[in-house]
Structure 1
Amino acid sequence: MSQTPPQTGAHLIASSLVDLGVDVIFGIVGIPVIEVAEACIAAGIRFISFRNEQAASYAASAYGYMTGKPGVCLVVGGPGVLHAMAGIGNSQINATFPLLLLAGAAPTTDSATKLSFQQLDQVSLLAPHTKLSLRPASLSQIPTTIRDAYRASFYGRPGATYVDLPADYIQTPLGDACLGSNACVAAVEAPPKVLADPTRISAIAAALKGARNPLIIIGKGAAYARAEDAVRGFVEETQIPFLPTPQGKGVIPDSHVLNTSAARSSALKGADFILLLGARVNWILHFGTRFAKGVKIAQVDIVAEELGRNGTDSGMSVVGDIDAVLSQLLPELRGYRHPESSSWRKMLQQTHERNLVKAKAKEQAVTRRGDRLSYQRVFRLIEDGLLAKAGSPDGLVYVSEGANTMDISRSIFSISSPRQRLDAGTYATMGVGLGYAIAASIAYPEKRVIAIEGDSALGFSLAEIETMARYRMPVVIVVMNNGGVYHGISDNTDSYGGEWEKDSRRQQGRLPSTALGFETEYHKVAEGLGARGHRVTDEEGLRKAVEAAWEYKEGPTLINVVIKSGAGGALSFGWLEKKEEGGKAKL
């Protein structure tokens, strides 16, 4: 509870957030919300000021995922809200990224047709895109309105909520009516755990016992739910092979012997029983089209609407919290243990080992003198360098974005703890990377954040390097620079000039739509924004740059890695490809 009475509406907003346990806010200030931000800072809340509302809203949503309580974003009205809608959509679709957006608004005394400064009907605009969109009915209702929106953002399925803060509410001196019981709000407790229907639990147990090829798929919902202890215990007890989704990695360490990630396609098409823990049957799981015909699926989700998506049978699925459901399921499976000698386990292990050999060959192929570095080789050298310094994957948090950058890196960087790998997520949103990295730096101050960025993806939020520098965040940013979207444009020269400068398409302004500036000097841009920068073209240079970046802890470091392009190849994104086992999309 606040120790001193608030003096204005801004102070009432700040004290409400303090009462709810909010300790950090992401955003950009302007009239009239600068008064709110300053009141929050005076009340002990940390305010992280961004260069773009889009990145701020992404950061707040990711902070909600990593901490388990809603991330809070504060922006101005009108264009500030429009920019922050990117984070609203990202929060809603990811379903594990709780976000509370607060925004300034025109005074309540101004009519809708007055065209006041940055006037926009934000409550109506955001109502279809949020779980709850509110404006306090009066100044005295600010605390309860903020509380209701805060609670709604992480009760049930997590998502985004919104509270409108009119300028006159922010600036009005408080009277006695605002200093009574309504001026304080009780902290919102974590959502209660939900148990599943016991009859369905029994059905799941019976089906699992009768399965020859069982598989557990672990989604980011399991990571968000802090269910790692329950999931790890369940897998150890039952010895069922598991497959993590990209952000489900780390719920069980990637190094676990039952991890089937390198045999992903075989696991999906061979399983006759699948237990889905916090995962949705969407494009990340190919809409279920790669499951075996007749496969039995038991899905565990926090909301009933998710069950049965894309034609899967919801008859055996349950609504409930993952750890609570597993605590119900384990007693029903007492004595059950999938045999290590089963043909299913042997096939998955053999496929896993065969594909790892292929992948390792690409990672370990030393770059010949004069050749460009490949994605696989860069990622192998980076992880080796980082682990030599950190000693364990537990001390590292990875953020990755960019189609090929994200697709390939997820199979190389080993994750041992939950919520320590973030990527573009369900929307495949480009531009989340640096906002996520900033949020991770705050959520995990004892860990080192590594942002692996495609050169196109970096451009969405490049200015946030200055935000990192301003707050002295030692983020290591690696830019995979191939001069274009997806596979880049040219390998004809090692520097500016040469064949690229002579290219007739460039001279005539007829570049392909995927082209970016060739060998853009991102490291110099980073230096101008207050970071340290390194340009890398060979293996030794990369090793030295990773070591130097690790040692520098006073701010961010950007490593600009000029890599081999795939110019002339087909445009692709591994998750959407249809390849046989062993292809890039399955590792």
Structure 2
Amino acid sequence: MDEVTGAQLIAEALKSQNVEYMFGIVGVPIIEVAMAAQAAGIKYVGMRNEQAVEACRLYSKFSARPSSLEMIPAVVEKAVRSSIYGRPGATYIDIAGDMVNAKIDRASVRFVSCCPAPPVSQADSREITQAVRLLRAAQRPLIIIGKGAAYARAEKEVRELVEVTGIPFLPTPMGKGVLSDDHPNCVAAARSRALLQADVIVLLGARLNWILHFGFPPRFSPHVKIIQVDLCAEELSNNVRAASALLGDIVAVVRQLLETVRSWRFPSDSQWWLTLKEKMTANAQISKSLALQSTLPMNYYTAFHHISELLPKDCIIVSEGANTMDIGRTMLLNYLPRHRLDAGTFGTMGVGPGFAIAAAVLEQTQKSAQRVVCIEGDSAFGFSGMEVETMCRYKLPIIIIVINNNGIYSGVDPKTWKEMEKMGDMTTIAPPVTLLPEAQYEQVMSAFGGRGYLVRTVEELRSALQESLDNTQMPSLLNVLIDPASDLFNYLQASRISIYFGAI
């Protein structure tokens, strides 16, 4: 009798679904599953954040517990299929501990082949006609490119739609790079004006959630007409009734639009384009004045300005934090699709190092020269900073840049901190948003064999970042000390810039 364990069945079922990587928390009985996965040819990366599984449980698209060993391959296939069919999302399989080491005759197991690629559907032709009618009549059209377009790999079709029609576009945070941020039709620097004054908006894989202010006034016109392209029927007309609801795969639907709209082009000399360009120019000047300030400690804009000058255009940017993520999103341009990951719709802190590790493992396996740069606020780094040990263990040349303002949103300088300590019990005195001033985060990386840099000046920042980019053998961490009050001093300006550069 050819016996097989539950751990082997799990590994073989995943392998049959073309799963190449597994990330997990080591412990009994996960050890057996991890070893079986490696034996099956799956690359296993052992992580450190023990809360990850429990955090995912409530947000799974599909969850199941196999009732027997025989059912493991079928449940794995359904979990993989559910994760990629329709709206993509995470799935969860709960394996009873005693199943992992239990044995069964292989002949009694019903193995399942790899699931087919997701089916592709087109939108209703009547809705396509309505969408084109709305675009042709629009005085102030706008395209919003969401992360759904990035996931669908629709960059070729979206580029053609933008360039054929001449319509300005805005990317959502993780829609950045589907079309390059420096594309002439990108109006991210006039985000607030574009959203408020647009009379027809095409949503390409973007949703009217909090990131887009739910489509409500005063950020949007109360009379705006929405053309919504989405593969999830339940999402259509959420918050704002769609004037044209295009249910289907983004690639297929955009091709349908192109077939009908090719003979029309929005004029580049329109009042709408003039209005947007004027606002973009004015906002760029404000941003530049903040970025070129020479005072020490640096502010956010100065730090990001010099970081952006050195980062390769093809690097993968991972970002999380409060001000760090918001302002960084406006200052660090993305030129390629699927090259930006951040805290996403849920605004989840602590995901940055894990995202960076996953990206770096893929780049390492593919022998790509692309670098992974993880830009963290100091508070965000605290959620899962111990993953630097994982980076060092697997020799992943990730560059972590901690923008350290001594707090969550804002902190205090060392002198003020010492004065507060003299006043008595810090639990009753220290503002809740403050962290220990000038914490030496770079030493965490150094402790595990990576390279750590303490950065106070522009010269130190540029030197440390260039050294880190040149080093492809180990991870690096730059602890960039900035003015803890920079967001307070520039609060009104920063708020305005965050709005019209798309930082919300």
What TM-score range do you get, normalising by the shorter chain? Answer: over 0.9
CA–CA separation in structure 2 for the residues paired with 1:309 and 1:23? 36
- Are residues 1:450 and 2:377 paired? no
Equivalent of 1:13 in 4, 10, 14: 10
Task: Give the structure 2 partner of residue 154 of structure 1.
Answer: 84
Q: CA deviation at 1:501?
A: 2.1
> Judging changes above 3 Å, is the alpha-carbon distance between structure 1 residues 199 and 551 closer, same or farther for their aligned structure 2 residues?
same
> Judging changes above 3 Å, is the alpha-carbon distance between structure 1 residues 568 and 192 closer, same or farther for their aligned structure 2 residues?
closer
Which AA in structure 2 matches 1:379?
Answer: F
CA contact (8 A) 1:207 1:273 kept: yes
Per-residue CA distance 1:448-492 (angstroms, 9 max, x = gap): 0111110000000010000001010101111111111102222xx
CA contact (8 A) 2:330 2:498 kept: no
CA–CA separation in structure 1 for the residues paired with 2:166 and 2:209? 26
- Are residues 1:244 and 2:171 paired? yes
Task: Give the structure 2 partner of residue 523 of structure 1.
Answer: 442
- Are residues 1:46 and 2:15 paired? no
Structure 1 unpaired stretches of 5+: 55-82, 89-125
Task: Give the structure 2 partner of residue 432 of structure 1.
Answer: 351
Alignment of 1:329-368 (within 5 A): 329-365=257-293, 367-368=294-295
Per-residue CA distance 1:417-446 (angstroms, 9 max, x = gap): 111111111111111110111111123332
> Judging changes above 3 Å, is the alpha-carbon distance between structure 1 residues 421 and 129 closer, same or farther for their aligned structure 2 residues?
closer
CA–CA separation in structure 1 for the residues paired with 2:486 and 2:329? 23
> Judging changes above 3 Å, is the alpha-carbon distance between structure 1 residues 316 and 176 closer, same or farther for their aligned structure 2 residues?
closer
Task: Give the structure 1 partner of residue 130 of structure 2.
Answer: 203
Equivalent of 2:425 in 487, 508, 520: 508
Q: Secondary structure at the match of 1:410?
A: helix
- Are residues 1:136 and 2:66 paired? yes
Task: Give the structure 1 partner of residue 242 of structure 2.
Answer: 314
CA–CA separation in structure 1 for the residues paired with 2:50 and 2:158? 36
CA contact (8 A) 2:3 2:106 kept: no
CA–CA separation in structure 1 for the residues paired with 2:487 and 2:403? 18
Equivalent of 2:460 in 541, 544, 556: 541
Task: Give the structure 2 partner of residue 295 of structure 1.
Answer: 224
CA–CA separation in structure 2 for the residues paired with 1:190 and 1:464? 33
CA contact (8 A) 1:301 1:319 kept: yes
Deviates more, 1:348-357 or 1:248-257: 348-357
Per-residue CA distance 1:141-183 (angstroms, 9 max, x = gap): 111111111111121111222212122321122215435xx1x
Q: CA deviation at 1:583?
A: 3.4
> Judging changes above 3 Å, is the alpha-carbon distance between structure 1 residues 49 and 488 closer, same or farther for their aligned structure 2 residues?
same
Per-residue CA distance 1:247-289 (angstroms, 9 max, x = gap): 1110000111110100001100111100000011011111112
Task: Give the structure 2 partner of residue 377 of structure 1.
Answer: 302
- Are residues 1:24 and 2:21 paired? yes
> Judging changes above 3 Å, is the alpha-carbon distance between structure 1 residues 382 and 166 closer, same or farther for their aligned structure 2 residues?
same
Which AA in structure 1 matches 2:358?
Answer: A
CA contact (8 A) 1:27 1:53 kept: no
Q: CA deviation at 1:573?
A: 11
Q: Secondary structure at the match of 2:346?
A: coil
CA contact (8 A) 1:486 1:572 kept: no
Q: CA deviation at 1:15?
A: 0.9
> Judging changes above 3 Å, is the alpha-carbon distance between structure 1 residues 422 and 159 closer, same or farther for their aligned structure 2 residues?
same
Alignment of 1:80-91 (within 5 A): 83-86=52-55, 88=56
Which AA in structure 1 matches 2:159?
Answer: R
CA–CA separation in structure 2 for the residues paired with 1:500 and 1:347? 47
Q: CA deviation at 1:402?
A: 0.8
CA–CA separation in structure 1 for the residues paired with 2:324 and 2:203? 27
- Are residues 1:586 and 2:503 paired? no
CA contact (8 A) 1:216 1:241 kept: yes
CA–CA separation in structure 1 for the residues paired with 2:264 and 2:479? 52
Which AA in structure 2 matches 1:11?
Answer: Q
Q: CA deviation at 1:239?
A: 0.7
Per-residue CA distance 1:344-402 (angstroms, 9 max, x = gap): 1111112112211211121122x23xx2111111111112122xxx4xx12x0111111
CA–CA separation in structure 1 for the residues paired with 2:382 and 2:31? 28
> Judging changes above 3 Å, is the alpha-carbon distance between structure 1 residues 573 and 330 closer, same or farther for their aligned structure 2 residues?
farther
CA contact (8 A) 2:165 2:262 kept: no
Q: Secondary structure at the match of 1:513?
A: coil
> Judging changes above 3 Å, is the alpha-carbon distance between structure 1 residues 223 and 270 closer, same or farther for their aligned structure 2 residues?
same
Q: CA deviation at 1:505?
A: 6.3
Aligned length, in residue pairs: 492
> Judging changes above 3 Å, is the alpha-carbon distance between structure 1 residues 570 and 53 closer, same or farther for their aligned structure 2 residues?
farther
CA contact (8 A) 2:144 2:172 kept: yes
Task: Give the structure 2 partner of residue 305 of structure 1.
Answer: 234
> Judging changes above 3 Å, is the alpha-carbon distance between structure 1 residues 129 and 408 closer, same or farther for their aligned structure 2 residues?
closer
**Percent identity at matched positions?**
45
CA–CA separation in structure 2 for the residues paired with 1:361 and 1:349? 19
Alignment of 1:90-169 (within 5 A): 126=57, 129-169=59-99
CA–CA separation in structure 1 for the residues paired with 2:492 and 2:87? 29
CA–CA separation in structure 2 for the residues paired with 1:303 and 1:572? 39
> Judging changes above 3 Å, is the alpha-carbon distance between structure 1 residues 336 and 175 closer, same or farther for their aligned structure 2 residues?
same
Which AA in structure 1 matches 2:259?
Answer: P
> Judging changes above 3 Å, is the alpha-carbon distance between structure 1 residues 38 and 339 closer, same or farther for their aligned structure 2 residues?
same
Which AA in structure 1 matches 2:54?
Answer: M
Task: Give the structure 2 partner of residue 272 of structure 1.
Answer: 199
Task: Give the structure 2 partner of residue 80 of structure 1.
Answer: none
CA contact (8 A) 1:407 1:585 kept: no
Per-residue CA distance 1:564-586 (angstroms, 9 max, x = gap): 11279499899xx9x6xx53322
> Judging changes above 3 Å, is the alpha-carbon distance between structure 1 residues 506 and 473 closer, same or farther for their aligned structure 2 residues?
farther
What is the TM-score with the length of structure 1 in the denominator?
Answer: 0.81
CA–CA separation in structure 2 for the residues paired with 1:505 and 1:429? 36
CA–CA separation in structure 2 for the residues paired with 1:436 and 1:153? 18
> Judging changes above 3 Å, is the alpha-carbon distance between structure 1 residues 12 and 499 closer, same or farther for their aligned structure 2 residues?
closer
Equivalent of 2:146 in 204, 215, 219: 219
Task: Give the structure 1 partner of residue 252 of structure 2.
Answer: 324
CA contact (8 A) 2:61 2:82 kept: yes
CA contact (8 A) 2:230 2:247 kept: yes
CA–CA separation in structure 2 for the residues paired with 1:551 and 1:176? 50
Q: CA deviation at 1:13?
A: 1.2
CA–CA separation in structure 2 for the residues paired with 1:334 and 1:153? 35
CA–CA separation in structure 2 for the residues paired with 1:573 and 1:303? 38
- After the TM superposition, which parts of structure 1 deviate over 4 Å for at least 4 consecutive aligned residues? 570-574
Equivalent of 1:482 in 385, 396, 405: 405
CA contact (8 A) 1:403 1:573 kept: no
Q: CA deviation at 1:319?
A: 1.0
CA–CA separation in structure 2 for the residues paired with 1:452 and 1:567? 18
Structure 2 unpaired stretches of 5+: none
CA–CA separation in structure 2 for the residues paired with 1:374 and 1:242? 29
CA–CA separation in structure 2 for the residues paired with 1:230 and 1:145? 35
Which AA in structure 1 matches 2:99?
Answer: Y
CA–CA separation in structure 1 for the residues paired with 2:106 and 2:453? 59
> Judging changes above 3 Å, is the alpha-carbon distance between structure 1 residues 9 and 506 closer, same or farther for their aligned structure 2 residues?
farther
